[in-house]
Amino acid sequence: MDNINDKNLLFSSNSNKPLGEILVEAGIVSLAQIEIALQEQSQSNLKIGEILALHGWIKQETADFFGEKWSQLIENEQKQPLIYYFKEAALLDEQQINALLKEQKKLQQQQQKIRFHHLAVKKGYLKQITVDYFLASLFNIYSSAVFSFTKPYQILISYTNGETNFERTQLSSAPLVGISLKKVVLDKSNLKGANMASCNLSYSSMVKVNLALANLHKAVLTEVNLKGACLNQANLREAHLEKVNFQRASLQGADLSNAYLLQACFAATNLNGAQLPSKYPYEVYYDSQTSFDDNFDPERAGWIRQD
C-alpha cells in the first residue's frame, strides 16, 4: 500500500488489524521490535503482546487495551475525553495526568492556551504520532503523519514464514527503520522516500528499485544487487555497501559520505552531484561509462577502472 490519500480507507478496518500493526501505527513500538517479536512468536505459544511486554517495550495493560477494548471503543459513537483513552491504554498514569492538568491550568491563568495532548507531547510523555493515531482512529481528526503499516507488517509476517519474494512492492515513504530482510527480492519495488535507516537488506536483489530520496543512513547492504536502481538524492551516509552492484544505477545528488564501499561496482553509474567519501583504502570499481562531477578524479582517488 503506497501513500494513502483516502484516510477513511486507512482506518475503515482499523479494529480488524493485528495487534502488532496497531501498536506500530500508533508509534508505541517500532517495526524492528515487531520483527523480533514475530520471530520469537513463531517459536513459542506466547501472544505478540505478551512478548512485547516481556521485553519491556510496552506494559501488559497496553497490550490488553488494544487487544481487548480498542475495536469496541472505535465503534462506540459515545466518545470520552482523550485523557480517558490514554489512561486506559496505560500510556499515562494518574501522576502524569495530574501533573499535566496542573501545568495546563497554570498556563491558562497566564492567558496561554494549550491542549492537554499538546502539553503531553511537549513534556515527552507521549509521541506526536501516538496522539495523531488516537485522534484519527477515535475522532476522525487526521494528520499527514499518519501512515498505514499494513503492507510492511504483512511483509514481516511473510518473511517470518519463509517468503522472500516481494517484487514490485509499493512502500513509498514507508517508515522501515531498523528492519532486517536478508536475501529478499525487491526488484522494481517503489521505496521512494522510505526511511530505512539502520536496516539490513544484505544479499538481496533490488534491481531497478526506486530509492530516490530514501534514508539509508547506516544501512547494511552487503552484496546487494542495485543494478539500474534509482537512488537520486538518497541518504547513504555511513552505509555499509560492501560488494554492492550499482551498475547502471543513478545516484545523482546522493550522499555517500563515510560510506564503506569495499569492492562496490559503479560501472555505467551516474554519480553527478553525489557526495563521495574522501578516502578509499580499498578497491572501488568503475568504467568508461561511469559519470562523475568534473572535480572528481577516480584514478587519483584510487578507484579501479574495469573495461
Count of H-run helices and E-run strands, the chain: 12, 3
pLDDT in tens, 186-242: 999 999 999 999 999 999 999 999 999 999 999 999 999 999 999 999 999 999 999
Choices 2.60.40, 2.40.50, 1.20.120, 2.160.20: CATH for 164-307: 2.160.20
Average pLDDT over residues 51-55: 98
| pLDDT at site 15 | 57
Q: What is the pLDDT of residues 150-198, one digit of tens each?
A: 899 999 999 999 999 999 999 999 989 999 999 999 999 999 999 999 9
Q: How far is CA 72 from CA 13, 138, 255, in A?
A: 12, 11, 47
Q: Is the pTM of this model over 0.75?
A: yes
* Contact status, residue 177 vs residue 157, Cβ threshold 8 Å: no
Domain parsing of the chain, residue ranges: 7-91+126-139, 164-307
What CA–CA distance (Å, rounded) separates 295 from 273? 10
Buried b (16+ CB within 10 A) or exposed e, 51-71: bbbeeebbbeebbbbbbeebe
pLDDT (tens digit per residue) in 91-130: 999 999 999 999 999 999 998 999 999 999 999 999 999 9
Mean pLDDT, residues 75-93 taken together: 96
Enumerate the β-bridge partners of residue 255.
Answer: 235, 275
On the question of pLDDT at 243 being above 90, the answer is: yes
